[in-house]
């Protein structure tokens, strides 16, 4: 063996790859081959070319023969397929070649070449799920001839046992010439008219007799039409997901029929794919059961043993179930909620005092007590006539009135037998009657609600309250996994018994035993269904749930591992889910009004929906259609211009090696070759290579010495090369100091952050022939050192035995463990994402959503965190190095390894830095002050519109004017006709009737009675309407509406505040930047938070929604609350940023994907971000008592009336004194 041959064999073993048609063309220039036509080769090559040439998918090739001649014929057939039809465009893997890389995913493209059926049968036992994807495409070629239809039927029966349906069998049925003889292509249908689960062979094509190829579908879909055949469906009753109804089923012995909204989904699938449903119920009411490879129970056992074709009944996704079964597309997402018992009821005595707060009761008692004190004070006046005079002017004549009793009567809305005669007592009585009228009307309206409805104390609303109460959790056995993270709750778990629909049975028991202190966990939809069925009955009680949910629950359909139904079912389910049908179906089965009472269906006047109200929905529809159209064209462009991975081969003066390498490599990678380029690679590319401008991932550099490598490395840049790819450097010239040379090369690569690199140094000498050729690499992080390129001998290749360490992969993962090396993180406080921990020392620990994420990354990757706080705290501008500012400058100047802290991905940032996987989505909203409050007099005016008040005062004025004219100008007969026998009481009587009082002496004439009846009827309607509307207005919101969006806020003169970190979203809106005011976090907490509590304050603050809820969690305890506007300003996709060529992105993205897919990140965010803090959680949400502020308007009217009465009283005294002086003079 020559010296070059040994080195060539080492290089081939290093890459384990094949060159493409370019390499083969170089080989064909020296070795002449003869291309013979063959009908079997031609038609198989067409199928491979049209259906197996897929980007990033490799075809596994298996060959089976019973004789040596058959093996030679199969090898010749494979050679013709690869040379004549593959042409370097088909990525193949020969069976039996060992791969020491990561675990190979199941093969989705398989080419089986067999001499005969007996040889083919040896392959069937090797078709396992861990190696092959049974839903992939299979091409079987039988080389021997002739092949009978019975043999075809036996092949298809073997495949159907494994549910492999996407298969084509190519064979010859005659012994004619193999070059020109006919070749038939066969497939089969497992479901056909009259045949269910019986493979029916189907002739696809006969070559070369059939010449039209474009209309032939070699792999038709077999799972879209079942021709009425029954499918076995595993299900059980768990309403409202699935409801079992007695029925004959589809055949003798079949199970019941299925309804519920998952039953509706099943009916839609049955209609779409034309199959009948045969429901199978788990025995002994085991329902979900345990998911285990051994000793599984319930539904899991039925699916795993393929007793049913699929299962549907509120089946959630979990790790254990996904390991043993195949999960379909998630078609419904709900929440696991905790059903809590209602609060303890109020006593009958407590209900009497519920309508008013204690302040109103005190105010009413003070007013009544002052009246009693005034009346008692009159008894202390001297008896020389002063007492009688003052009493007559203040409380009226003693012979007709009892002032103490009158106060009590008016307070209790009882009519007075006689009205006082003096003007001041009448005025005082009218004011007191008005106040008591409002008090009684509001008290009666509110007391009616409290007495007619069961008033309860507030139930348990959070999981912490449930834990403090020590209540037991009743759950299903399959839901225990949600409590494994809380060991303190495990002793309080109790499992549902094995009864049909155990969840519904438990909910019914809780409805019948409301005093039971324990709780139950189920989905929100179970509770909604119970409330819809039982909550509307006269004797039924609605179940309550805690406001804090336990977890999200994703519902799917589970299939056996080798099921053929998944692809077609998922496609139809995705259409149903995107159309919103499943949400519509689920809404029909439940009452989702859990918090607060439902709105009444009674309306004073129906109001139809107009076009203006639907304008937003129509605009959203048009926008979504345009977005879908743009996405469609983008996908077409991507499919047309997408390219495959290629090997970049660069050498200098080593052409002898290149020829041997290209001849001996296989043909599954394209090769881009460059040689002896004297200038920058990026500046002088051949025009013919314009289509190869994708990043170069696989790179082989062959140079003569280290200086040649330096020239090649000078051309490396991140515009052409993927520095996270694979790099192999081969030094062809002899080198005395091999370790030093390898160290120099690896240090050069580490300076470019190229980690996946291997160095080979040749040519081999006598020593290397004896001891093997060494492969040098480096680990940038290790025990006792950090960020150093120390060369190590990773493996040794010996020509006779191969690699000394075959278990070592050639390119190991080097960044899974940082060995406690420090990584510098540039950040700044962004609540609640980044929260510095002042008790953790020198800034080495961060709290918050992203702080927890960073701490978990540190634990999983084993690095030491060094936090560099950016001052001033700002993201800065990500531009060229000399223009970068803020945290971006730390990355651009290589002062930090990465940066985290509410980094939203933008095109400008991605141009100069590299971002990780987008792990969180946040919304920027406007925190805004509440609107100006309504005054107490405005609240009293609200029940009636201005025209009603105008008509009322006009009627009252006209009536009082008519009474006054008749009393002074009318005759006695006319006065009696209109006013009755007591004209002097007409004015007080009209006011008494208006305010709900009584008349001491009703009129006797018919005309006067008619007028009185008309006034009584009109005022009765007005008082009733005012009473009902007044109570609603006093309980409703008491603030004016604030503007919703930024344009309306600016138009209204509002000031727009924000941290300087968030100002980048308005860079494209200079007219908004003119109204921006940048503030610091200290100014926001000390000044602006207090200003946001002032009603009507014209200011707003731009904050993330998570920041608002986090701050409200503490502010609400102090009686403060940050309110947000209805419109969202910006949606931020958060990521970690680092250098463009940093090797950290690979391990970071792997960890981030795990955190996101497992739901850990949402759980971390839930510790700091709870949506219930958008409102005051400490405010009681039930029926509220009337506060003193609600009644200020009535007391203002009382004070005004007292002032007018006092003026009238003084005027009467002066008038009487004038009359007495006149009489004394006379």
User: C-alpha dihedral over 1033, 1039, 1043, 1049, to 10 degrees?
Assistant: 170
Give the pLDDT score at 139. Answer: 92
Bridge partners of 339, per DSSP, are 520, 545
User: C-alpha dihedral over 399, 401, 404, 406, to 10 degrees?
Assistant: 170
Give the pLDDT score at 602. Answer: 39
C-beta of residue 565 within 8 angstroms of C-beta of residue 309:
yes
Give the pLDDT score at 1190. Answer: 65
C-beta of residue 103 within 8 angstroms of C-beta of residue 131:
no
Give the pLDDT score at 971. Answer: 75
Tell me which residue range forms the domain holding 717. Answer: 644-679+694-803
C-beta of residue 923 within 8 angstroms of C-beta of residue 1134:
no
Q: In this structure, are 372 and 331 located in the same domain?
A: no
Average pLDDT over residues 262-291: 90
Q: Of 778, 803, 828, which residue sits at a domain end?
A: 803
Q: Of 1005, 1035, 1065, which residue sits at a domain end?
A: 1035
C-beta of residue 397 within 8 angstroms of C-beta of residue 425:
no
Q: In this structure, are 878 and 759 located in the same domain?
A: no
Binned at pLDDT 50, 70 and 90, residue 556 comes out as very high
Average pLDDT over residues 994-1009: 66
Binned at pLDDT 50, 70 and 90, residue 896 comes out as very high
| 317 or 1065: which leads in pLDDT | 317
Average pLDDT over residues 117-134: 85
Q: In this structure, are 313 and 371 located in the same domain?
A: no
Name the token pair of 1164: 């971390």
Residue 783 placed within a domain: yes
Phi and psi (nearest 5°) for 819?
Answer: 55, 45
Number of domains in the chain: 7
Q: What is the CATH number of the domain that holds 186?
A: 3.40.50
Instruction: Read off the DSSP letter of residue 1006.
Output: H
Instruction: Read off the DSSP letter of residue 66.
Output: S
C-beta of residue 1147 within 8 angstroms of C-beta of residue 1064:
no
Phi and psi (nearest 5°) for 250?
Answer: -105, -10
Bridge partners of 257, per DSSP, are 245
Other beta carbons within 10 Å of 870: 21
Give the pLDDT score at 851. Answer: 92
Average pLDDT over residues 1122-1136: 86
Per-residue pLDDT at 4 exceeds 60: no
| 399 or 272: which leads in pLDDT | 272
Residue 390 placed within a domain: yes
DSSP secondary structure of 965-983: HHHHHS-HHHHHHHH-S-G
Per-residue pLDDT at 218 exceeds 70: yes
Give the pLDDT score at 857. Answer: 92
Going by C-alpha positions, the residue among 644, 654, 596 that lies closest to residue 1035 is: 596
Per-residue pLDDT at 267 exceeds 50: yes
Q: In this structure, are 928 and 1072 located in the same domain?
A: yes
Instruction: Read off the DSSP letter of residue 932.
Output: P
Lowest mean pLDDT segment, chosen from 46-60, 135-149, 189-203: 46-60
Burial of 1088 (0-12, 13-18, 19+ CB in 10 A): buried
Give the pLDDT score at 557. Answer: 94
Cα-only R_g, the chain: 44
Q: Of 186-190, 212-216, 982-986, where does the model show the most confidence?
A: 186-190
Give the pLDDT score at 688. Answer: 42
Give the pLDDT score at 1005. Answer: 61
- Number of helical H runs and strand E runs in the chain: 40, 42
Binned at pLDDT 50, 70 and 90, residue 455 comes out as low
Residue 1166 placed within a domain: yes
Binned at pLDDT 50, 70 and 90, residue 863 comes out as very high
Lowest mean pLDDT segment, chosen from 42-51, 479-488, 792-801, 1185-1194: 1185-1194
Give the pLDDT score at 1061. Answer: 66
Residue 602 placed within a domain: no
Give the pLDDT score at 773. Answer: 83
Lowest mean pLDDT segment, chosen from 101-110, 363-372, 876-885: 101-110
Other beta carbons within 10 Å of 123: 18
Instruction: Read off the DSSP letter of residue 478.
Output: G
Q: Of 975, 1007, 1035, which residue sits at a domain end?
A: 1035
Give the pLDDT score at 1115. Answer: 85
Residue 615 placed within a domain: no
Per-residue pLDDT at 467 exceeds 80: yes
C-beta of residue 982 within 8 angstroms of C-beta of residue 421:
no
Residues 545 and 591: their CA atoms lie apart, in Å, by: 13
C-alpha to C-alpha distances, 189 to 183, 205, 967, nearest whole angstrom: 20, 15, 106
Lowest mean pLDDT segment, chosen from 69-73, 275-279, 386-390, 1169-1173: 386-390
Give the pLDDT score at 1071. Answer: 80
Mean pLDDT over the full length of the chain: 78
Phi and psi (nearest 5°) for 538?
Answer: -65, -40
H-helix or E-strand spanning residue 185: strand 183-192
Lowest mean pLDDT segment, chosen from 6-20, 32-46, 720-734, 825-839: 6-20
Phi and psi (nearest 5°) for 1102?
Answer: -85, 120
What pLDDT digit, counting tens, does each position of 49-88 carry? 888 887 777 888 999 988 888 889 888 888 888 888 777 7
Name the token pair of 194: 């009259």
Bridge partners of 1103, per DSSP, are 925
Lowest mean pLDDT segment, chosen from 753-767, 827-841, 931-945, 1125-1139: 931-945
Binned at pLDDT 50, 70 and 90, residue 860 comes out as very high
What pLDDT digit, counting tens, does each position of 144-186 carry? 878 888 888 999 999 998 889 999 999 888 766 666 678 889 9
Residues 1125 and 1119: their CA atoms lie apart, in Å, by: 20
H-helix or E-strand spanning residue 1222: helix 1192-1225
Q: In this structure, are 336 and 478 located in the same domain?
A: yes
| 105 or 671: which leads in pLDDT | 105
Average pLDDT over residues 786-810: 87
Burial of 613 (0-12, 13-18, 19+ CB in 10 A): exposed
C-beta of residue 127 within 8 angstroms of C-beta of residue 78:
no
Cα 342 to the center of its chain, rounded Å: 30
Name the token pair of 574: 């995705």
Residue 619 placed within a domain: no
Give the pLDDT score at 347. Answer: 64
Per-residue pLDDT at 3 exceeds 80: no
C-beta of residue 810 within 8 angstroms of C-beta of residue 102:
no
| 345 or 907: which leads in pLDDT | 907
Residue 23 placed within a domain: no
**What percentage of the chain reaches a pLDDT higher than 90?**
12
Bridge partners of 62, per DSSP, are 112
Q: Which residues contact 1013 (CB under 8 A, 6 or more apart)?
A: none
Average pLDDT over residues 1143-1167: 88
Q: In this structure, are 1013 and 1118 located in the same domain?
A: no
Per-residue pLDDT at 1000 exceeds 70: no
Binned at pLDDT 50, 70 and 90, residue 449 comes out as low
C-alpha to C-alpha distances, 334 to 63, 267, 317, 552, 906, nearest whole angstrom: 50, 21, 12, 6, 32
Residue 617 placed within a domain: no
Phi and psi (nearest 5°) for 205?
Answer: -165, 145
Residues 1144 and 756: their CA atoms lie apart, in Å, by: 12
Q: What is the CATH number of the domain that holds 501?
A: 3.40.190.10
| 437 or 776: which leads in pLDDT | 776
Q: Which residues contact 252 (CB under 8 A, 6 or more apart)?
A: none
Q: In this structure, are 179 and 153 located in the same domain?
A: yes
Q: In this structure, are 566 and 533 located in the same domain?
A: yes
Q: In this structure, are 1018 and 1061 located in the same domain?
A: no
| 977 or 749: which leads in pLDDT | 749
Give the pLDDT score at 100. Answer: 58
pTM for this predicted structure? 0.46
Q: In this structure, are 657 and 773 located in the same domain?
A: yes
Q: In this structure, are 783 and 653 located in the same domain?
A: yes
Per-residue pLDDT at 30 exceeds 70: no
Q: Of 75-79, 626-630, 632-636, where does the model show the most confidence?
A: 75-79
| 389 or 842: which leads in pLDDT | 389
What pLDDT digit, counting tens, does each position of 282-310 carry? 988 888 888 888 888 888 999 999 999 99
Q: In this structure, are 929 and 915 located in the same domain?
A: no
Average pLDDT over residues 1127-1153: 89
């Amino acid at each position: 063996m020559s010296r070059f041959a040994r080195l060539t064999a080492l290089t081939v073993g290093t890459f384990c790859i094949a060159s493409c048609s370019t390499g083969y063309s170089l080989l064909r220039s020296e070795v002449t081959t003869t291309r013979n036509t063959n009908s079997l080769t031609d038609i198989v090559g067409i199928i491979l070319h049209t259906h197996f040439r897929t980007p990033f998918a490799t075809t596994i090739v298996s060959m089976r023969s019973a004789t040596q001649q058959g093996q030679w014929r199969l090898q010749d057939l494979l050679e013709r397929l690869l040379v004549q039809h593959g042409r370097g465009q088909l990525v193949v893997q020969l069976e039996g070649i060992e791969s020491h890389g990561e675990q190979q995913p199941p093969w989705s493209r398989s080419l089986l070449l067999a001499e005969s059926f007996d040889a083919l049968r040896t392959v069937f036992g090797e078709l396992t799920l861990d190696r092959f994807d049974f839903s992939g495409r299979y091409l079987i070629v039988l080389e021997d001839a002739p092949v009978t239809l019975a043999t075809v039927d036996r092949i298809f029966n073997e495949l159907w046992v494994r549910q492999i349906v996407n298969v084509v069998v190519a064979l010859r049925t005659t012994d004619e010439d193999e070059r020109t003889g006919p070749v038939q292509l066969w497939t089969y249908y497992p479901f056909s008219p009259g045949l269910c689960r019986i493979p029916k062979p189907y002739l696809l094509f006969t070559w070369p007799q059939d010449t039209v190829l474009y209309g032939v579908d070699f792999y038709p879909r077999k799972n879209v039409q079942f021709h009425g055949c029954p499918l076995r469906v595993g299900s059980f009753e768990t309403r409202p997901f699935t409801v079992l109804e007695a029925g004959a089923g589809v055949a003798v012995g079949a199970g019941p029929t299925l309804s519920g909204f998952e039953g509706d989904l099943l009916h839609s699938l049955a209609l779409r794919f034309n199959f009948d449903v045969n429901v199978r119920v788990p025995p002994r009411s085991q329902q979900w059961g345990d998911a285990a490879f051994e000793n599984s129970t319930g539904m899991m056992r039925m699916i795993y043993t393929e007793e049913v074709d699929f299962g549907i009944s509120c089946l959630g996704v979990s790790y254990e179930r996904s390991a043993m079964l195949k999960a379909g597309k998630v078609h419904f997402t709900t929440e696991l909620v905790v059903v809590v018992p209602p609060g303890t009821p109020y006593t009958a005595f407590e209900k009497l005092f519920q309508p008013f707060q204690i302040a109103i009761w005190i105010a009413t008692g003070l007013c009544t007590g002052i009246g009693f004190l005034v009346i008692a004070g009159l008894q202390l006046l001297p008896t020389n006539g002063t007492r009688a005079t003052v009493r007559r002017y203040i409380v009226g004549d003693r012979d007709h009135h009892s002032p103490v009793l009158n106060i009590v009567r008016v307070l209790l809305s009882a009519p007075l037998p006689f009205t006082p005669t003096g003007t001041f007592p009448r005025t005082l009585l009218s004011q007191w009657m008005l106040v008591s009228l409002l008090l009684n009307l509001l008290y009666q309206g509110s007391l009616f609600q409290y007495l007619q409805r069961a008033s309860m104390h507030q139930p348990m609303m959070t999981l912490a309250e449930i834990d403090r109460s020590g209540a037991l959790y009743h759950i299903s056995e399959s839901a225990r996994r949600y409590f494994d993270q809380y060991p303190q709750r495990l002793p309080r778990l109790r499992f549902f018994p094995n009864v049909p629909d155990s969840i519904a049975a438990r909910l019914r028991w809780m409805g019948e035993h409301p005093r039971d202190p324990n709780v139950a966990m189920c989905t929100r939809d179970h509770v909604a269904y119970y409330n819809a069925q039982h909550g509307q009955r006269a004797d039924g009680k609605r179940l309550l749930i805690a406001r804090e949910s336990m977890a999200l629950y994703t519902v799917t359909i589970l299939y056996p591992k080798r099921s053929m139904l998944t692809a077609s079912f998922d496609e139809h389910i995705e259409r149903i889910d995107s159309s919103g049908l499943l949400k519509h179906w689920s809404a029909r089965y439940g009452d989702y009004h859990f918090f607060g009472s439902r709105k009444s269906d009674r309306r004073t006047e129906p109001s139809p929906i107009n076009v203006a109200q639907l304008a937003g929905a129509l605009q959203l529809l048009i926008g979504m259609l345009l977005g879908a159209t743009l996405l469609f064209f983008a996908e077409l462009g991507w499919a047309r211009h997408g390219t495959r991975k290629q090997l970049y081969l660069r050498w200098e003066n080593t052409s002898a090696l290149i020829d041997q390498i290209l001849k001996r490599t296989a043909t599954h990678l394209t090769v881009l070759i460059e040689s002896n380029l004297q200038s920058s690679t990026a500046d002088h590319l051949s025009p013919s290579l314009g289509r190869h401008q994708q990043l170069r991932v696989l790179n082989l550099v062959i140079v003569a010495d280290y200086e040649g490598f330096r020239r090649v490395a000078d051309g490396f840049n991140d515009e052409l090369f993927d520095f996270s790819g694979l790099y192999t450097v081969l030094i062809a010239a002899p080198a005395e100091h091999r370790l030093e040379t390898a160290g120099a090369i690896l240090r050069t690569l580490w300076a470019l952050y190229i980690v996946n690199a291997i160095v080979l140094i040749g040519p081999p000498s006598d020593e290397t022939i004896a001891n093997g050729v060494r492969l040098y690499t480096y680990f940038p992080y290790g025990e006792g050192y950090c960020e150093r390129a120390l060369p190590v001998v990773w493996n040794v290749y010996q020509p006779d035995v191969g690699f000394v360490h075959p278990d070592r992969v050639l390119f190991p993962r080097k960044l899974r463990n940082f060995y406690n090396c420090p990584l510098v993180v540039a950040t700044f406080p962004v609540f609640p994402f980044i929260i510095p921990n002042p008790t953790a020392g020198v800034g080495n620990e961060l709290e918050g959503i992203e702080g927890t994420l960073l701490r978990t990354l540190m634990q999983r990757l084993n690095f030491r965190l060094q936090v560099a706080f950016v001052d001033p705290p700002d993201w800065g501008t990500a531009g060229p190095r000399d223009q970068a500012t803020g945290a971006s400058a730390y990355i651009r100047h290589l002062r930090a390894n990465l940066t985290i802290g509410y980094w939203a991905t933008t095109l400008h940032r991605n141009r100069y830095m590299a971002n990780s996987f987008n792990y969180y989505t946040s919304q920027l909203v406007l925190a805004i002050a509440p609107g100006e409050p309504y005054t107490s007099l405005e609240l009293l005016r609200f029940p009636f519109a201005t025209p009603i008040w105008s008509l009322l005062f006009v009627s009252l004025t006209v009536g009082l004017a008519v009474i006054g004219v008749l009393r002074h100008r009318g005759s006695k007969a006319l006065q009696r006709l209109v006013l009755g026998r007591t004209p002097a009481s007409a004015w007080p009587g009209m006011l008494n009737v208006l305010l709900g009082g009584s008349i001491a002496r009703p009129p006797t004439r018919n005309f006067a009675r008619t007028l009185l009846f008309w006034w009584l009827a009109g005022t009765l309607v007005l008082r009733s309407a005012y009473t009902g509307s007044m109570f609603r207005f006093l309980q409703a919101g008491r603030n004016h509406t604030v503007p919703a969006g930024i344009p309306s806020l600016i138009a209204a003169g509002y000031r727009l505040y924000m941290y300087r970190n968030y100002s980048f979203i308005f860079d494209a809106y200079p007219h908004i930047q003119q109204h921006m005011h940048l503030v610091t976090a200290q100014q926001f907490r000390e000044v602006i938070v207090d200003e946001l509590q002032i009603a009507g304050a014209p200011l707003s603050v731009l904050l993330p929604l998570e920041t608002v809820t986090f701050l409200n969690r503490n502010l609400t305890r102090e009686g403060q609350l940050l309110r947000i506007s209805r419109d969202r300003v910006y949606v931020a996709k958060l990521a970690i940023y680092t250098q463009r060529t940093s090797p950290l992105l690979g391990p970071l993205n792997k960890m981030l994907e795990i955190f996101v897919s497992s739901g850990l990140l949402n759980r971390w965010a839930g510790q700091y971000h709870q949506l219930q803090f958008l409102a005051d959680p400490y405010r009681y949400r039930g029926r509220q008592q009337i506060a003193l502020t609600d009644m200020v308007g009535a007391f203002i009217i009382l004070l005004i009336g007292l002032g007018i009465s006092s003026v009238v009283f003084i005027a009467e005294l002066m008038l009487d004194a004038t009359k007495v002086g006149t009489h004394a003079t006379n």
